[in-house]
Amino acid sequence: MAQLKLYEYPHPILKKKAEKVDKVDDALRKLLDDMLETMYADNGCGLAAPQVGVSKRLVVIDIAGEGEEPRPMYLVNPEIVWASEEKEISEEGCLSVPGQRAEVERPASVRIKYLDYNGEAQEILAEDFLAVAAQHEIDHLDGVLYIDRISRLKRQMLLKKLEKARKESGSKI
Ligand code: NI
Residue 32 Cα to ligand 1 middle (Å): 16
What percent of the chain is modeled with pLDDT above 70?
Answer: 98
pLDDT tier for residue 170 given thresholds of 50, 70 and 90: confident
Over range 11-40, report the average pLDDT: 98
Residue 173, pLDDT > 90, answer no
Phi (first) and psi of residue 3, to 5 degrees: -85, 140
pLDDT tier for residue 66 given thresholds of 50, 70 and 90: confident
Instruction: Note the pLDDT of residue 9.
Output: 98
Catalytic residue list contains 137: yes
Neighbours of 143 (CB within 10 A): 16
Active-site hit among 8, 92, 137, 168:
137
Residue 49 Cα to ligand 1 middle (Å): 10
d(CA 112, CA 74): 12
| pLDDT tens digits, one per residue of 74-104 | 999 999 999 999 999 999 999 999 999 999 9
- For β-strands 101-107 and 121-126, DSSP reports them as unpaired
Output the DSSP codes for 83-146.
Answer: E-S-EEEEEEE-TTSTT-EEEEEEES-EEEEEE-TTS-EEEEEE-HHHHHHHHHHHHHHTT--G
Strand order in the sheet with 46-48: 46-48, 58-61, 73-83, 110-115, 121-126
Residue 71 Cα to ligand 1 middle (Å): 19
Question: From the centroid of its chain, how far is CA 65?
Answer: 17
Instruction: Note the pLDDT of residue 10.
Output: 97
User: Of 70-74, 138-142, 167-171, which gets the smallest average pLDDT?
Assistant: 167-171
Per-residue CA distances from 139 to 13, 147, 164 (Å) = 13, 11, 26
Residue 1 Cα to ligand 1 middle (Å): 21
pTM of this structure: 0.96
Residue 140 Cα to ligand 1 middle (Å): 7
